[in-house]
Structure 1
Amino acid sequence: MLRNELVAHLHQLLEVDQYQDYAPNGLQVEGPEQINKIVMGVTATQALIEAAIDRQADAIIVHHGYFWKNEPQAITGMKFQRIKKLIQNNLNLFAYHLPLDGHAKYGNNAQLGKLWQLEDITPAPGLVRLGRLSNPMSIEEFKHRVSETLAREPLHLPGGPEQIKTVAWCSGGAQGYIQQAVDWQADVYISGEVSEQTTHIASESGIHYLAAGHHATETWGVKALGEYLQNKFGIECQFVDCVNPV
Structure 2
Amino acid sequence: MNEYQLCAAISELFGDLLDQFKDAGEYGFNHRTGRTIQRLGYCTNLTPELIEQAKDKQVDFIITHHDAWEFIFGMKEECLKRLQNYRIGHFYVHLPLDYAEFGTCNSLFKEIGNVAIIKQSQHVNGTSTIGIGELTSSISFDDFTARVADVLHEDIKAWPYGQSMVKRIGMITGAGSNTNEIRSAKEQHCDVYMTGEKSLYTIQYAKFAGINLLVGSHTFTEIFGVRSFAQKLQAAYPSIELVYLAEEHFE
Counterpart of 1:97 in structure 2 is 94
Range with bigger deviation, 36-45 or 5-14: 5-14
Counterpart of 1:114 in structure 2 is 110
Name the aligned partner's letter for residue 105 of structure 2: N
Name the aligned partner's letter for residue 166 of structure 2: I
1:104/1:62 Cα in 2 relative to 1: closer, same or farther (>3 Å)?
A: same
Name the Cα RMSD after superposition.
2.1
1:170/1:22 Cα in 2 relative to 1: closer, same or farther (>3 Å)?
A: farther
Measured in 1, the distance between the counterparts of 2:156 and 2:118 equals: 24
Q: Residue 41 of structure 2 is aligned with which of 35, 39, 42? A: 39
Q: Secondary structure at the match of 2:110?
A: helix
Q: How does 1:27-176 map to 2 (within 5 A)?
A: 27-66=29-68, 71=71, 77-105=74-102, 107-116=103-112, 117-122=114-119, 125-126=122-123, 127=128, 128-176=130-178
- Identity across the alignment (%): 29
Q: TM-score by structure 1 length? A: 0.89
Alpha-carbon contact 2:26-2:96 (below 8 Å) kept? no
1:245/1:22 Cα in 2 relative to 1: closer, same or farther (>3 Å)?
A: farther
Alpha-carbon contact 1:24-1:67 (below 8 Å) kept? no
Alpha-carbon contact 1:7-1:26 (below 8 Å) kept? no
Q: Secondary structure at the match of 2:37?
A: coil
Q: Residue 188 of structure 1 is aligned with which of 192, 195, 203? A: 192
Range with bigger deviation, 143-152 or 118-127: 118-127
Q: TM-score by structure 2 length? A: 0.87
1:17 to partner: Cα distance = 2.1
Q: Secondary structure at the match of 1:94?
A: strand
Q: Secondary structure at the match of 2:247?
A: coil
1:28 to partner: Cα distance = 2.1
1:33-88 Cα distance to aligned partner (Å, 9 max, x none): 422221111111111111111122221111111366xx49xxx7332221111111
Measured in 1, the distance between the counterparts of 2:154 and 2:81 equals: 34
Measured in 2, the distance between the counterparts of 1:201 and 1:244 equals: 26
1:83/1:215 Cα in 2 relative to 1: closer, same or farther (>3 Å)?
A: same
Measured in 2, the distance between the counterparts of 1:103 and 1:109 equals: 9
1:67/1:167 Cα in 2 relative to 1: closer, same or farther (>3 Å)?
A: closer
**Unpaired runs of at least 5, structure 1:** none
Alpha-carbon contact 1:21-1:98 (below 8 Å) kept? no
Q: Residue 178 of structure 1 is aligned with which of 182, 187, 205? A: 182
